[in-house]
A and B are shown apart, each in its own frame.
Chain A
Amino acid sequence: MKENIITINHLMKKFGDNEVLKDINFSVRKGDITSIIGASGSGKSTLLRCVNLLENPTGGEIFYKGENILSKKDESGYRTKVGMVFQNFNLFENMNVLKNCTIGQEKVLKVSKEEAENKAKFYLEKVGMLPYINAKPKQLSGGQKQRVAIVRALAMEPEVLLFDEPTSALDPQMVGEVLSVIKALAEEGFTMIIVTHEMQFAKDISNHVVFMHKGIILEEGTSDEIFVSPKCNETKEFLSRFISC
């Protein structure tokens, strides 16, 4: 039995009167690839953002390696351990590709510039973006931006990576290049939580699937349990929409 790296207990989040997350409980073990699926507005992004403390939960607890991160002061140190890749990339517009991937190492981890650049280049090469180190984000395609964003997160040497619909803002022909990078990470046993609408992809790479519905986890289990033999009607209905088209 592997250790739990992230444990979420009774997590709640309200925006005003809008109860977006209601009593969320689940845990992620080291090496797990957890996919979170569910309809738009079901609270998937909010959940992921709470895990990275981009949103302050209104209730509940989040443990990272046994430590309650909601009562901790050091948000910054925690975030370097739990990286995040966004739907809209959020690359720094004022920096070129290389700087995007070194600034966090240099300023947050206090790594030397040379070391930071070496590491950034190593990862950039892996995702095929090494030739573009001098380009600014606005000079890149969506798929290229997302690959750089993944490197920016990886360069911090996080223990867990969170992906919030990493391919939803991409043209169809660019989805593959990003998914193949995530797949490569998965094959190497990287711990990840992925919110995605790419059902085939989720089915193939996850060992843990969470189905969210109106702010609660309606069903969770292995990839087969959810995709092959879902129990809840809502899950079946949700999945049938993807198979039909």
Chain B
Amino acid sequence: MSLPQDFFGRIIFIIQNYGESLLKGAGTTLLIALVGTIIGCLIGFVVGIIQTIPVRKKDNLAKRIILKVLKLIMNIYVEVFRGTPMMVQAMFIYYGSAVLFEINMDMWFAAYFIVSINTGAYMAETVRGGILSVSDGQTEGAKAIGMNHFQTMLYVILPQAIRNIMPQIGNNLIINIKDTCVLSVIGTVELFFATKSVAGTYYTFFEAYTITMVMYLCMTVFFSKLLRVFESKLNGPEDYSLATTDTLAYTSGLLKYPSKKGVD
């Protein structure tokens, strides 16, 4: 096969001959980014929620100790994985575990694991912030009608926290789409890895990476737009319709609700 001389010719050449392997790489990138973000979010929610459980003097000693220990472990987790580069974590976990524990971790497992655990550390902080951003009044309103901590979280705080952190969840997905390229150090054939081999074969760095840049950009722009749509869905309608036109208030007989069975 002879390589065309001009830029566009080379681009077409690469697409024709290596398009499939680049697409497969992109698919892998997306899959790892999506799965990693989802699992990471779940980890983040669990950690973030546990970190915001209030410890009260009234609680019994065992509960307080367990919570303290759990919170400590989770703090360490967050600090370690937020405070070190994902590329180093990848090497440490994949090769390190092989040397230290003689575990031959499956490369795919390692890839998903690393992205998830890394995202989880970031999301934990995001979720914690999201929970704290919901005003105390919401918690008090819930408690005042008898909701316990769990119900307050589930029905009142988390739905609002999730809405508030949607932009950051989106951000994390975008970052993950880009940052899965560091997994090439453990041999994961994602988009960047695939591009490297294509570019190296014919020394078409400029052309191959042009294609790859465009592919990354398409993926990130697509998902950032999709998340916007999702966000506005979460916001609900801008206005509301009046259920009836009768606005007369009958403030007498307020307490005469006939118990059992409806009043229509």
Say which residue of B145, B151, B155, B262 sits within 8 Å of A118 (CB atoms): B262
A128 to B62, CA, bound (A): 50
Q: Within the complex, what minimum Cβ distance (angstroms) separates A53 from chain B? A: 8
A131 with B247: CB separation less than 8 A: yes
A152 with B145: CB separation less than 8 A: yes
B147 with A181: CB separation less than 8 A: no
* Residues of chain B from 160 to 192 with CB closer than 8 A to chain A in the complex: 160, 163
Give the A-B pair count, Cβ closer than 8 A: 137
Say if the beta carbon of B229 comes within 8 Å of chain A.
no
Q: How many residues of A contact B (CB 8 A)?
A: 57
Say which residue of A115, A131, A149, A184 sits within 8 Å of B243 (CB atoms): A131
A114 with B156: CB separation less than 8 A: no
Say if the beta carbon of B140 comes within 8 Å of chain A.
yes
A156 with B251: CB separation less than 8 A: no
Say if the beta carbon of B210 comes within 8 Å of chain A.
no
A80 with B146: CB separation less than 8 A: yes
B155 with A107: CB separation less than 8 A: yes
Q: Within the complex, what minimum Cβ distance (angstroms) separates A46 from chain B? A: 13
* Residues of chain B from 212 to 250 with CB closer than 8 A to chain A in the complex: 236, 239-250
With A79-B143, A94-B156, A108-B147 known as contacts, the answer to whether A184 contacts B138 (CB < 8 A) is no
A7 to B225, CA, bound (A): 59
List the A side residues contacting B247 at CB < 8 Å. Answer: 128, 131
A187 to B253, CA, bound (A): 10
Say which residue of A88, A93, A134 sits within 8 Å of B240 (CB atoms): A134
A54 with B254: CB separation less than 8 A: no
Say if the beta carbon of B4 comes within 8 Å of chain A.
no
Instruction: Return the chain B residue nearest A117 by Cβ.
Output: B262
Say if the beta carbon of A225 comes within 8 Å of chain B.
no
Instruction: Return the chain B residue nearest A100 by Cβ.
Output: B141
A86 with B137: CB separation less than 8 A: yes
Q: Within the complex, what minimum Cβ distance (angstroms) separates B224 from chain A? A: 24
Say if the beta carbon of A40 comes within 8 Å of chain B.
no
Say which residue of A77, A83, A107 sits within 8 Å of B144 (CB atoms): A83
Say which residue of B146, B148, B240, B251 sits within 8 Å of A135 (CB atoms): B240
Say if the beta carbon of B255 comes within 8 Å of chain A.
yes
Q: Which of B146, B236, B249 has the most CB of A within 10 A?
A: B146
Say if the beta carbon of B263 comes within 8 Å of chain A.
yes
B163 with A188: CB separation less than 8 A: no
B144 with A130: CB separation less than 8 A: no
B140 with A90: CB separation less than 8 A: yes
A119 to B262, CA, bound (A): 7
List the B side residues contacting A34 at CB < 8 Å. Answer: none
List the B side residues contacting A139 at CB < 8 Å. Answer: 239-240
A115 to B264, CA, bound (A): 12
Instruction: Return the chain A residue nearest B245 by Cβ.
Output: A131
Instruction: Return the chain B residue nearest A81 by Cβ.
Output: B146
A185 to B253, CA, bound (A): 9
B243 with A132: CB separation less than 8 A: yes
A103 to B154, CA, bound (A): 12
Say which residue of B138, B145, B250, B252 sits within 8 Å of A80 (CB atoms): B145
List the A side residues contacting B146 at CB < 8 Å. Answer: 76-77, 79-80, 104, 108-109, 156
With A54-B143, A108-B145 known as contacts, the answer to whether A185 contacts B255 (CB < 8 A) is yes
A119 with B138: CB separation less than 8 A: no
Say which residue of B137, B160, B242, B257 sits within 8 Å of A119 (CB atoms): B257
A126 with B262: CB separation less than 8 A: no
Q: Within the complex, what minimum Cβ distance (angstroms) separates B113 from chain A? A: 34
Say if the beta carbon of A92 comes within 8 Å of chain B.
yes
A132 to B239, CA, bound (A): 11
List the A side residues contacting B256 at CB < 8 Å. Answer: 188
A92 with B141: CB separation less than 8 A: yes
Known: A80-B145, A104-B146, A188-B254. 15 other contacts (CB 8 A): A76-B148, A83-B144, A84-B144, A90-B140, A91-B141, A92-B142, A103-B155, A108-B146, A108-B147, A126-B254, A128-B251, A130-B243, A131-B245, A133-B243, A152-B145
Instruction: Please list 19 pairs of residues, one from A and one from B, whose beta carbons are closer than 8 Å in the complex, sorted by A's number.
Output: A54-B144, A56-B57, A79-B143, A79-B145, A79-B146, A83-B145, A84-B144, A90-B138, A90-B140, A90-B141, A92-B142, A128-B249, A128-B251, A131-B247, A132-B242, A149-B141, A156-B146, A184-B251, A188-B255
Nearest first, the 3 A-B pairs at minimum CB distance are A128-B249, A90-B141, A104-B145
